[in-house]
Amino acid sequence: MKRPKSLRRPKFRLADSAQQAVGGFLLAGPFVVTEEVWVLAAGMHWSQGVVTALIVAAIGYAALYRADTDRDPDAESEIAGIPTRFVSLMIVSFGSVLLLAVLFDAPDTFLIEQGVAGRELWATTLKAVSVGAVFSVVGAATADSVF
User: What was the pLDDT predicted at 72?
Assistant: 77
7 part of a folded domain: no
Asked if residue 9 is part of any domain, the answer here is no
Q: What backbone phi and psi angles, to 5 degrees, belong to 67?
A: -70, -35
Q: Residue 116, by phi and psi: left (phi above 0), alpha (psi -120 to 50) or beta? A: beta
pLDDT tens digit sequence for 88-98: 999 999 999 99
- Specify which of 4-18, 22-36, 43-57, 71-85 reaches the highest per-range mean pLDDT: 43-57
Per-residue confidence (pLDDT) for residue 17, from 0 to 100: 85
Q: Tell me the pLDDT tens digit for each residue of 24-35.
A: 999 999 999 999
- Structural domain contains residue 35: yes
Closest CA to 131 of 98, 106, 89: 98
Does the pLDDT value for residue 11 go beyond 80? no
Q: What is the pTM of this model?
A: 0.86
| Positive/negative CA dihedral, 56, 58, 61, 67 | negative
Evaluate if residue 50 carries a pLDDT over 70.
Answer: yes
- Number of domains the chain is built from: 1
Cα–Cα dist 119/107, whole Å: 13
The chain-wide mean pLDDT, for the chain, equals 89
* 47 occurs within a structural domain: yes
Q: How many angstroms separate the CA atoms of 122 and 38, rounded?
A: 12
Query: Is residue 6 in a domain?
Result: no
Domain range spanning residue 137?
Answer: 14-146
Residue 77 has a pLDDT of 85
